[in-house]
Amino acid sequence: MASVSDMYDVTWEEMRDKLRKWREENYRNSEQIVEVGEELIQEHASKLGDDIWIIYEQVMIAALDCSRDDLATTCLHELKKQFQGSHRVKRLAGMRLEALERYDEAFKMYNDILQDDSTNTAARKRKIAILKAQGKSTEAIRELNEYLEQFVGDQEAWHELAELYINEHDYAKAAFSLEELMMTNPHNHLYCEQYAEVKYTQGGIENLELSRKYFAQALKLNNRNMRALFGLYLSASHIAASPKVSAKVKKDNVKYAAWAASQINRAYQLAGHGTKETKCSLKAVEEMLESMQIMPS
Amino acid sequence: MTVIKLTTQAYCKMLLHAAKYPHCAVNGLLVAENQKRKDGQPVLCVDCVPLFHGTLALAPMMEIALTLIDTWCKENKYVIAGYYQANERIKETRPNQFAEKVAARIAENFSEAALIMVDNSNISMGCYDPAISVFEHHDNKWKCRDASIDCCEDWSEAQKIMSALLEDRSYDSLIDFDNHLDDLRNDWTNPEINKSILHLC
Protein backbone atom coordinates (compact mmCIF):
# COMPACT_ATOMS: atom_id res chain seq x y z
CA MET A 1 0.00 0.00 0.00
CA ALA A 2 1.29 3.45 -0.88
CA SER A 3 2.75 5.48 1.94
CA VAL A 4 1.10 8.66 3.12
CA SER A 5 4.09 10.72 2.03
CA ASP A 6 3.85 9.25 -1.47
CA MET A 7 0.09 9.52 -1.79
CA TYR A 8 -0.16 13.12 -0.67
CA ASP A 9 3.33 14.25 -1.61
CA VAL A 10 4.22 15.51 1.86
CA THR A 11 7.47 15.58 3.77
CA TRP A 12 7.93 14.11 7.21
CA GLU A 13 8.07 17.63 8.65
CA GLU A 14 4.67 18.43 7.18
CA MET A 15 3.30 15.20 8.64
CA ARG A 16 4.70 16.10 12.04
CA ASP A 17 3.19 19.60 11.82
CA LYS A 18 -0.19 18.21 10.82
CA LEU A 19 -0.14 15.95 13.87
CA ARG A 20 0.67 18.93 16.03
CA LYS A 21 -2.22 20.93 14.59
CA TRP A 22 -4.64 18.07 15.21
CA ARG A 23 -3.27 17.69 18.74
CA GLU A 24 -3.56 21.37 19.59
CA GLU A 25 -7.04 21.72 18.17
CA ASN A 26 -8.23 18.48 19.76
CA TYR A 27 -9.43 16.84 16.55
CA ARG A 28 -10.69 13.31 16.79
CA ASN A 29 -9.85 12.30 13.22
CA SER A 30 -8.39 9.05 14.50
CA GLU A 31 -8.14 7.19 11.19
CA GLN A 32 -6.02 9.99 9.73
CA ILE A 33 -3.90 10.30 12.87
CA VAL A 34 -3.17 6.59 12.78
CA GLU A 35 -2.27 6.68 9.10
CA VAL A 36 0.07 9.66 9.38
CA GLY A 37 1.39 8.89 12.86
CA GLU A 38 2.18 5.24 12.21
CA GLU A 39 4.28 6.11 9.18
CA LEU A 40 6.02 8.91 11.03
CA ILE A 41 6.91 6.57 13.89
CA GLN A 42 8.03 3.71 11.67
CA GLU A 43 10.02 5.69 9.10
CA HIS A 44 11.15 8.88 10.79
CA ALA A 45 11.41 8.19 14.52
CA SER A 46 15.04 9.26 14.75
CA LYS A 47 14.31 12.70 13.24
CA LEU A 48 11.50 13.56 15.64
CA GLY A 49 13.62 14.18 18.72
CA ASP A 50 11.67 14.66 21.91
CA ASP A 51 8.47 15.20 19.94
CA ILE A 52 8.25 11.45 19.55
CA TRP A 53 6.87 10.89 23.04
CA ILE A 54 3.87 13.14 22.63
CA ILE A 55 3.35 11.65 19.19
CA TYR A 56 3.36 8.16 20.69
CA GLU A 57 0.67 9.31 23.11
CA GLN A 58 -1.44 10.91 20.37
CA VAL A 59 -1.13 7.93 18.03
CA MET A 60 -1.87 5.49 20.83
CA ILE A 61 -5.17 7.15 21.67
CA ALA A 62 -6.12 7.31 17.98
CA ALA A 63 -5.16 3.65 17.60
CA LEU A 64 -7.56 2.75 20.41
CA ASP A 65 -10.31 4.56 18.51
CA CYS A 66 -9.54 2.46 15.43
CA SER A 67 -9.27 -0.90 17.23
CA ARG A 68 -5.57 -1.06 16.39
CA ASP A 69 -4.52 -2.71 19.61
CA ASP A 70 -1.24 -3.77 17.98
CA LEU A 71 -0.23 -0.17 17.34
CA ALA A 72 -1.56 1.01 20.70
CA THR A 73 0.48 -1.64 22.53
CA THR A 74 3.65 -0.68 20.64
CA CYS A 75 3.25 2.99 21.55
CA LEU A 76 2.42 2.16 25.16
CA HIS A 77 5.45 -0.09 25.40
CA GLU A 78 7.79 2.68 24.23
CA LEU A 79 6.22 5.18 26.63
CA LYS A 80 6.44 2.76 29.56
CA LYS A 81 10.13 2.17 28.84
CA GLN A 82 10.89 5.87 28.70
CA PHE A 83 8.71 7.11 31.56
CA GLN A 84 8.74 4.38 34.17
CA GLY A 85 6.21 4.77 36.94
CA SER A 86 4.56 7.74 35.24
CA HIS A 87 0.91 8.41 36.10
CA ARG A 88 0.34 9.90 32.67
CA VAL A 89 1.44 6.64 31.06
CA LYS A 90 -0.56 4.61 33.55
CA ARG A 91 -3.64 6.53 32.48
CA LEU A 92 -2.93 5.50 28.89
CA ALA A 93 -2.67 1.88 29.99
CA GLY A 94 -6.06 2.32 31.65
CA MET A 95 -7.51 3.74 28.43
CA ARG A 96 -6.31 0.68 26.56
CA LEU A 97 -8.14 -1.53 29.05
CA GLU A 98 -11.25 0.59 28.53
CA ALA A 99 -10.98 0.10 24.77
CA LEU A 100 -10.87 -3.65 25.38
CA GLU A 101 -13.96 -3.23 27.59
CA ARG A 102 -12.01 -4.51 30.61
CA TYR A 103 -13.63 -1.80 32.70
CA ASP A 104 -13.03 -3.32 36.14
CA GLU A 105 -9.28 -3.55 35.54
CA ALA A 106 -9.22 -0.01 34.13
CA PHE A 107 -11.15 1.23 37.15
CA LYS A 108 -8.62 -0.37 39.46
CA MET A 109 -5.73 1.22 37.55
CA TYR A 110 -7.25 4.69 37.94
CA ASN A 111 -7.93 4.10 41.62
CA ASP A 112 -4.26 3.16 42.04
CA ILE A 113 -3.27 6.51 40.50
CA LEU A 114 -5.69 8.35 42.77
CA GLN A 115 -4.36 6.59 45.84
CA ASP A 116 -0.92 7.88 44.96
CA ASP A 117 -2.15 11.31 43.95
CA SER A 118 -5.68 12.24 44.94
CA THR A 119 -5.64 15.39 42.81
CA ASN A 120 -5.04 13.56 39.54
CA THR A 121 -7.89 14.97 37.47
CA ALA A 122 -7.17 12.79 34.43
CA ALA A 123 -7.77 9.58 36.38
CA ARG A 124 -10.96 10.94 37.91
CA LYS A 125 -12.31 11.91 34.52
CA ARG A 126 -11.52 8.50 33.06
CA LYS A 127 -13.55 6.89 35.84
CA ILE A 128 -16.48 9.07 34.82
CA ALA A 129 -15.88 8.14 31.19
CA ILE A 130 -16.16 4.46 32.14
CA LEU A 131 -19.55 5.11 33.75
CA LYS A 132 -20.63 6.88 30.59
CA ALA A 133 -19.44 4.00 28.40
CA GLN A 134 -21.36 1.55 30.55
CA GLY A 135 -24.53 3.56 30.07
CA LYS A 136 -24.64 4.56 33.73
CA SER A 137 -25.60 8.15 32.95
CA THR A 138 -27.06 8.97 36.37
CA GLU A 139 -23.89 7.89 38.17
CA ALA A 140 -21.69 9.64 35.62
CA ILE A 141 -23.65 12.86 36.17
CA ARG A 142 -23.40 12.51 39.94
CA GLU A 143 -19.64 11.88 39.86
CA LEU A 144 -19.09 14.71 37.42
CA ASN A 145 -21.02 17.11 39.67
CA GLU A 146 -18.87 16.06 42.63
CA TYR A 147 -15.74 16.55 40.53
CA LEU A 148 -16.86 20.03 39.51
CA GLU A 149 -17.45 21.06 43.13
CA GLN A 150 -13.73 20.58 43.58
CA PHE A 151 -12.44 21.61 40.17
CA VAL A 152 -14.86 24.40 39.39
CA GLY A 153 -12.73 25.85 36.58
CA ASP A 154 -12.61 22.76 34.40
CA GLN A 155 -14.40 23.89 31.25
CA GLU A 156 -14.17 20.60 29.44
CA ALA A 157 -15.95 19.02 32.39
CA TRP A 158 -18.72 21.63 32.47
CA HIS A 159 -19.32 21.08 28.77
CA GLU A 160 -19.38 17.32 29.21
CA LEU A 161 -21.92 17.78 32.01
CA ALA A 162 -24.11 19.98 29.81
CA GLU A 163 -24.10 17.32 27.10
CA LEU A 164 -24.89 14.53 29.55
CA TYR A 165 -27.87 16.53 30.80
CA ILE A 166 -29.07 17.23 27.24
CA ASN A 167 -28.93 13.52 26.46
CA GLU A 168 -31.03 12.85 29.53
CA HIS A 169 -33.45 15.56 28.37
CA ASP A 170 -32.79 17.52 31.60
CA TYR A 171 -32.63 20.86 29.84
CA ALA A 172 -32.84 23.02 32.96
CA LYS A 173 -29.65 21.52 34.38
CA ALA A 174 -27.97 21.64 30.98
CA ALA A 175 -28.76 25.36 30.86
CA PHE A 176 -27.21 25.83 34.29
CA SER A 177 -23.99 24.11 33.17
CA LEU A 178 -23.82 26.25 30.05
CA GLU A 179 -24.38 29.38 32.18
CA GLU A 180 -21.21 28.49 34.09
CA LEU A 181 -19.35 28.24 30.78
CA MET A 182 -20.72 31.52 29.46
CA MET A 183 -19.72 33.32 32.67
CA THR A 184 -16.09 32.27 32.31
CA ASN A 185 -16.07 32.57 28.50
CA PRO A 186 -18.24 35.57 27.66
CA HIS A 187 -16.81 35.88 24.15
CA ASN A 188 -17.42 32.29 23.10
CA HIS A 189 -20.24 32.40 20.55
CA LEU A 190 -20.65 28.61 20.55
CA TYR A 191 -21.60 28.44 24.24
CA CYS A 192 -24.08 31.31 23.74
CA GLU A 193 -25.62 29.59 20.79
CA GLN A 194 -25.89 26.21 22.48
CA TYR A 195 -27.43 27.85 25.56
CA ALA A 196 -30.00 29.51 23.30
CA GLU A 197 -30.80 26.12 21.75
CA VAL A 198 -31.35 24.58 25.18
CA LYS A 199 -33.63 27.43 26.23
CA TYR A 200 -35.63 27.10 23.01
CA THR A 201 -35.98 23.36 23.58
CA GLN A 202 -37.27 23.99 27.10
CA GLY A 203 -40.11 25.99 25.59
CA GLY A 204 -42.52 28.54 27.00
CA ILE A 205 -42.57 32.24 26.24
CA GLU A 206 -39.96 33.29 28.79
CA ASN A 207 -37.50 30.69 27.57
CA LEU A 208 -38.21 31.61 23.95
CA GLU A 209 -37.42 35.26 24.68
CA LEU A 210 -34.24 34.28 26.47
CA SER A 211 -33.28 32.03 23.59
CA ARG A 212 -33.84 34.85 21.11
CA LYS A 213 -31.62 37.15 23.17
CA TYR A 214 -28.82 34.60 23.32
CA PHE A 215 -29.04 33.75 19.62
CA ALA A 216 -28.71 37.49 19.01
CA GLN A 217 -25.74 37.64 21.38
CA ALA A 218 -24.05 34.75 19.60
CA LEU A 219 -24.54 36.59 16.31
CA LYS A 220 -23.01 39.72 17.79
CA LEU A 221 -19.96 37.68 18.76
CA ASN A 222 -19.80 35.95 15.39
CA ASN A 223 -21.98 37.26 12.60
CA ARG A 224 -21.38 34.20 10.47
CA ASN A 225 -22.85 31.70 12.93
CA MET A 226 -25.65 30.25 10.79
CA ARG A 227 -27.17 28.30 13.67
CA ALA A 228 -27.54 31.54 15.63
CA LEU A 229 -29.12 33.23 12.62
CA PHE A 230 -31.61 30.42 12.05
CA GLY A 231 -32.26 30.28 15.79
CA LEU A 232 -32.97 34.00 15.93
CA TYR A 233 -35.41 33.62 13.05
CA LEU A 234 -37.19 30.66 14.67
CA SER A 235 -37.46 32.10 18.16
CA ALA A 236 -38.59 35.55 16.97
CA SER A 237 -41.17 33.93 14.66
CA HIS A 238 -42.60 31.79 17.44
CA ILE A 239 -42.79 34.70 19.87
CA ALA A 240 -44.53 36.86 17.27
CA ALA A 241 -47.04 34.08 16.61
CA SER A 242 -47.83 33.52 20.26
CA PRO A 243 -51.23 34.72 21.52
CA LYS A 244 -49.69 35.46 24.92
CA VAL A 245 -47.56 38.45 23.98
CA SER A 246 -48.39 42.13 23.80
CA ALA A 247 -48.84 43.90 20.48
CA LYS A 248 -45.52 45.68 20.92
CA VAL A 249 -43.61 42.49 21.58
CA LYS A 250 -45.30 40.94 18.56
CA LYS A 251 -44.34 43.87 16.37
CA ASP A 252 -40.73 43.84 17.58
CA ASN A 253 -40.34 40.15 16.97
CA VAL A 254 -41.86 40.33 13.49
CA LYS A 255 -39.12 42.87 12.77
CA TYR A 256 -36.38 40.63 14.20
CA ALA A 257 -37.67 37.64 12.23
CA ALA A 258 -37.84 39.65 9.01
CA TRP A 259 -34.28 40.88 9.52
CA ALA A 260 -33.05 37.35 10.21
CA ALA A 261 -34.86 36.03 7.13
CA SER A 262 -33.19 38.60 4.90
CA GLN A 263 -29.79 37.75 6.37
CA ILE A 264 -30.41 34.04 5.81
CA ASN A 265 -31.37 34.66 2.19
CA ARG A 266 -28.29 36.80 1.73
CA ALA A 267 -26.04 34.15 3.23
CA TYR A 268 -27.44 31.52 0.87
CA GLN A 269 -27.05 33.84 -2.11
CA LEU A 270 -23.43 34.49 -1.20
CA ALA A 271 -22.78 30.78 -0.88
CA GLY A 272 -24.68 30.00 -4.08
CA HIS A 273 -22.67 31.78 -6.77
CA GLY A 274 -24.73 30.24 -9.50
CA THR A 275 -24.08 26.53 -9.17
CA LYS A 276 -27.15 24.48 -9.99
CA GLU A 277 -27.33 22.54 -6.73
CA THR A 278 -27.13 25.54 -4.49
CA LYS A 279 -29.73 27.34 -6.62
CA CYS A 280 -32.09 24.58 -5.55
CA SER A 281 -31.32 24.95 -1.90
CA LEU A 282 -31.62 28.74 -2.12
CA LYS A 283 -35.10 28.31 -3.52
CA ALA A 284 -35.93 25.82 -0.78
CA VAL A 285 -34.77 28.26 1.88
CA GLU A 286 -36.81 31.10 0.40
CA GLU A 287 -39.88 28.92 0.32
CA MET A 288 -39.26 27.63 3.81
CA LEU A 289 -38.99 31.15 5.16
CA GLU A 290 -42.18 32.11 3.36
CA SER A 291 -44.05 29.09 4.62
CA MET A 292 -43.06 29.94 8.18
CA GLN A 293 -44.05 33.58 7.89
CA ILE A 294 -46.32 34.78 10.62
CA MET A 295 -49.55 36.28 9.42
CA PRO A 296 -50.03 39.55 11.30
CA SER A 297 -53.20 39.08 13.32
CA MET B 1 -49.91 -3.45 7.34
CA THR B 2 -47.53 -1.34 5.33
CA VAL B 3 -43.93 -2.36 5.25
CA ILE B 4 -41.04 0.06 4.90
CA LYS B 5 -38.16 -0.83 2.63
CA LEU B 6 -34.98 1.05 1.77
CA THR B 7 -33.25 1.41 -1.56
CA THR B 8 -29.52 0.83 -1.71
CA GLN B 9 -28.88 4.58 -1.84
CA ALA B 10 -30.94 5.27 1.29
CA TYR B 11 -29.39 2.39 3.24
CA CYS B 12 -25.82 3.17 2.24
CA LYS B 13 -25.91 6.89 2.95
CA MET B 14 -27.42 6.22 6.36
CA LEU B 15 -24.64 3.81 7.29
CA LEU B 16 -21.95 6.06 5.80
CA HIS B 17 -23.17 8.77 8.16
CA ALA B 18 -22.76 6.45 11.14
CA ALA B 19 -19.34 5.36 9.87
CA LYS B 20 -18.13 8.95 9.45
CA TYR B 21 -18.71 9.75 13.13
CA PRO B 22 -18.01 6.54 15.03
CA HIS B 23 -17.63 8.35 18.33
CA CYS B 24 -20.88 10.33 18.05
CA ALA B 25 -24.59 9.76 17.90
CA VAL B 26 -25.95 10.60 14.44
CA ASN B 27 -29.43 11.06 13.05
CA GLY B 28 -31.20 11.88 9.83
CA LEU B 29 -34.28 11.56 7.69
CA LEU B 30 -35.50 9.10 5.11
CA VAL B 31 -37.60 10.22 2.17
CA ALA B 32 -39.96 8.31 -0.08
CA GLU B 33 -41.64 9.16 -3.36
CA ASN B 34 -44.92 10.91 -2.80
CA GLN B 35 -47.33 8.79 -4.73
CA LYS B 36 -50.49 6.79 -4.22
CA ARG B 37 -49.66 3.26 -3.17
CA LYS B 38 -51.71 0.14 -3.76
CA ASP B 39 -52.77 -1.92 -0.76
CA GLY B 40 -49.91 -4.00 0.53
CA GLN B 41 -47.30 -2.20 -1.55
CA PRO B 42 -44.35 -1.31 0.68
CA VAL B 43 -43.23 2.25 1.33
CA LEU B 44 -39.92 2.58 -0.46
CA CYS B 45 -37.46 5.04 1.07
CA VAL B 46 -35.44 6.19 -1.89
CA ASP B 47 -33.04 8.60 -0.26
CA CYS B 48 -31.55 9.60 3.05
CA VAL B 49 -30.70 13.06 4.36
CA PRO B 50 -28.08 12.86 7.12
CA LEU B 51 -28.77 15.56 9.69
CA PHE B 52 -26.68 15.88 12.82
CA HIS B 53 -23.84 14.34 14.77
CA GLY B 54 -22.94 14.76 18.43
CA THR B 55 -25.55 16.30 20.69
CA LEU B 56 -28.84 15.42 19.00
CA ALA B 57 -31.56 16.24 21.47
CA LEU B 58 -31.98 19.95 20.80
CA ALA B 59 -35.00 21.34 18.99
CA PRO B 60 -34.14 24.45 16.96
CA MET B 61 -31.86 23.04 14.27
CA MET B 62 -34.05 19.94 13.99
CA GLU B 63 -37.03 22.22 13.32
CA ILE B 64 -35.10 24.11 10.67
CA ALA B 65 -33.93 20.89 9.05
CA LEU B 66 -37.41 19.36 9.03
CA THR B 67 -38.94 22.48 7.47
CA LEU B 68 -36.20 22.96 4.90
CA ILE B 69 -36.12 19.31 3.87
CA ASP B 70 -39.91 19.22 3.75
CA THR B 71 -39.77 22.11 1.27
CA TRP B 72 -37.09 20.34 -0.76
CA CYS B 73 -39.22 17.18 -0.73
CA LYS B 74 -42.22 19.02 -2.13
CA GLU B 75 -40.10 20.34 -4.99
CA ASN B 76 -38.90 16.84 -5.80
CA LYS B 77 -42.19 14.99 -5.26
CA TYR B 78 -40.83 13.28 -2.16
CA VAL B 79 -42.24 13.04 1.33
CA ILE B 80 -40.39 12.63 4.64
CA ALA B 81 -41.14 9.03 5.53
CA GLY B 82 -38.79 8.14 8.35
CA TYR B 83 -36.21 9.11 10.94
CA TYR B 84 -33.03 7.23 11.78
CA GLN B 85 -30.68 7.46 14.71
CA ALA B 86 -27.44 5.77 15.66
CA ASN B 87 -26.72 6.10 19.38
CA GLU B 88 -23.35 7.03 20.80
CA ARG B 89 -22.81 3.76 22.65
CA ILE B 90 -22.30 0.66 20.58
CA LYS B 91 -24.65 -1.47 22.63
CA GLU B 92 -27.48 1.08 22.93
CA THR B 93 -30.01 0.22 20.25
CA ARG B 94 -33.22 1.54 21.73
CA PRO B 95 -34.76 4.82 20.59
CA ASN B 96 -34.76 7.58 23.20
CA GLN B 97 -37.49 10.10 23.92
CA PHE B 98 -36.13 12.58 21.38
CA ALA B 99 -36.14 9.98 18.59
CA GLU B 100 -39.73 9.04 19.40
CA LYS B 101 -40.79 12.69 19.43
CA VAL B 102 -39.27 13.42 16.02
CA ALA B 103 -40.69 10.23 14.54
CA ALA B 104 -44.13 11.06 15.95
CA ARG B 105 -43.91 14.51 14.36
CA ILE B 106 -43.09 12.91 11.01
CA ALA B 107 -45.96 10.47 11.46
CA GLU B 108 -48.37 13.42 11.78
CA ASN B 109 -47.66 14.14 8.17
CA PHE B 110 -47.06 10.61 6.92
CA SER B 111 -48.97 7.99 8.86
CA GLU B 112 -46.76 5.05 7.96
CA ALA B 113 -43.58 6.77 9.13
CA ALA B 114 -40.84 4.50 10.42
CA LEU B 115 -38.29 5.00 13.16
CA ILE B 116 -35.04 3.29 12.33
CA MET B 117 -32.33 2.60 14.87
CA VAL B 118 -28.90 1.76 13.53
CA ASP B 119 -27.39 -1.29 15.15
CA ASN B 120 -23.81 -0.11 15.58
CA SER B 121 -22.45 -3.52 16.46
CA ASN B 122 -23.52 -4.87 13.07
CA ILE B 123 -21.57 -2.34 11.04
CA SER B 124 -18.60 -4.15 9.57
CA MET B 125 -16.48 -4.07 6.44
CA GLY B 126 -18.15 -7.23 5.20
CA CYS B 127 -21.68 -6.00 5.94
CA TYR B 128 -22.88 -9.50 6.74
CA ASP B 129 -26.13 -8.47 8.32
CA PRO B 130 -28.41 -5.49 7.87
CA ALA B 131 -27.35 -3.05 10.55
CA ILE B 132 -30.76 -1.60 11.35
CA SER B 133 -33.89 -2.21 13.40
CA VAL B 134 -37.15 -0.81 12.13
CA PHE B 135 -39.72 0.48 14.60
CA GLU B 136 -43.33 1.04 13.64
CA HIS B 137 -46.02 3.05 15.36
CA HIS B 138 -48.77 0.94 16.92
CA ASP B 139 -51.15 2.07 19.69
CA ASN B 140 -49.10 5.15 20.43
CA LYS B 141 -45.94 3.13 20.97
CA TRP B 142 -42.98 2.42 18.76
CA LYS B 143 -42.58 -1.32 18.40
CA CYS B 144 -39.66 -3.11 16.84
CA ARG B 145 -40.50 -4.93 13.65
CA ASP B 146 -39.61 -8.57 13.15
CA ALA B 147 -35.96 -8.65 12.11
CA SER B 148 -36.57 -11.37 9.58
CA ILE B 149 -38.49 -8.99 7.32
CA ASP B 150 -36.16 -7.73 4.64
CA CYS B 151 -35.45 -4.06 5.21
CA CYS B 152 -33.81 -3.43 1.86
CA GLU B 153 -35.30 -3.53 -1.58
CA ASP B 154 -32.29 -5.53 -2.75
CA TRP B 155 -30.16 -6.66 0.17
CA SER B 156 -27.39 -8.34 -1.80
CA GLU B 157 -26.89 -5.22 -3.90
CA ALA B 158 -26.95 -3.00 -0.80
CA GLN B 159 -24.48 -5.28 0.95
CA LYS B 160 -22.05 -5.33 -1.97
CA ILE B 161 -22.14 -1.59 -2.52
CA MET B 162 -21.96 -0.73 1.20
CA SER B 163 -18.87 -2.85 1.54
CA ALA B 164 -17.22 -1.15 -1.42
CA LEU B 165 -18.07 2.31 -0.07
CA LEU B 166 -16.57 1.49 3.33
CA GLU B 167 -13.39 0.19 1.70
CA ASP B 168 -13.12 3.42 -0.24
CA ARG B 169 -13.70 5.50 2.88
CA SER B 170 -16.49 7.34 1.05
CA TYR B 171 -17.81 8.44 4.40
CA ASP B 172 -15.04 11.04 4.51
CA SER B 173 -16.90 13.04 1.87
CA LEU B 174 -20.43 12.57 3.21
CA ILE B 175 -22.10 15.87 4.07
CA ASP B 176 -24.71 16.13 6.82
CA PHE B 177 -26.86 19.11 7.81
CA ASP B 178 -24.39 20.03 10.56
CA ASN B 179 -21.64 20.31 7.93
CA HIS B 180 -24.01 22.44 5.85
CA LEU B 181 -24.63 24.80 8.78
CA ASP B 182 -20.86 25.10 9.25
CA ASP B 183 -20.44 26.05 5.58
CA LEU B 184 -23.51 26.66 3.41
CA ARG B 185 -21.66 25.46 0.33
CA ASN B 186 -21.68 21.92 1.70
CA ASP B 187 -24.48 20.08 -0.09
CA TRP B 188 -26.55 17.76 2.13
CA THR B 189 -28.06 16.04 -0.90
CA ASN B 190 -24.64 14.43 -1.47
CA PRO B 191 -24.74 14.30 -5.28
CA GLU B 192 -21.21 12.90 -5.55
CA ILE B 193 -21.98 9.97 -3.28
CA ASN B 194 -25.23 9.35 -5.16
CA LYS B 195 -23.16 9.16 -8.34
CA SER B 196 -20.70 6.71 -6.79
CA ILE B 197 -23.53 4.47 -5.65
CA LEU B 198 -25.17 4.56 -9.07
CA HIS B 199 -21.82 3.78 -10.63
CA LEU B 200 -21.37 0.75 -8.42
CA CYS B 201 -24.83 -0.63 -9.11
Which of A226, A234, A284 lies nearest to residue B75, judging by beta carbons?
A284
Instruction: Determine the distance from the C-alpha atom of residue B144 to the mean position of all C-alpha atoms in its chain, rounded to a whole number.
Output: 16
CA A260 – CA A49 distance, rounded (Å) = 53
* pLDDT tens digits, B17-48: 999 999 999 999 999 998 888 877 889 999 99
* pLDDT tens digits, A11-61: 889 999 999 999 999 999 999 999 999 999 998 888 888 999 999 999 999
pTM equals 0.92
* pLDDT tens digits, B39-98: 778 899 999 999 999 999 999 999 999 999 999 999 899 999 999 999 999 888 899 999
Burial bucket for residue A44 (CB in 10 Å: 0-12, 13-18, 19+):
middle
Give the minimum alpha-carbon distance from B55 to chain A in angstroms, rounded to a whole number: 7
Which of B23, B68, B184 lies nearest to residue A288, judging by beta carbons?
B68
- B contacts of A291 (beta carbons < 8 Å): 67, 71
Does B58 sit within 8 Å of A166, measured CB to CB? yes
Band (A295; pLDDT cuts 50, 70, 90) = very low
- In this prediction, does ipTM exceed 0.95? no
What is the pairing mode between strands B114-118 and B26-33? unpaired
- Within 13 Å of residue B33, how many CA atoms lie on the same side as its CB? 10
User: What contacts A204, CB < 8 A, 6 or more positions away?
Assistant: none
When scoring A165, A193, A233, A281 by the number of chain B Cβ atoms within 10 A, the one with the most, hence best to mutate, is: A281
What is the pairing mode between strands B43-53 and B26-33? antiparallel
Does B64 sit within 8 Å of A230, measured CB to CB? yes
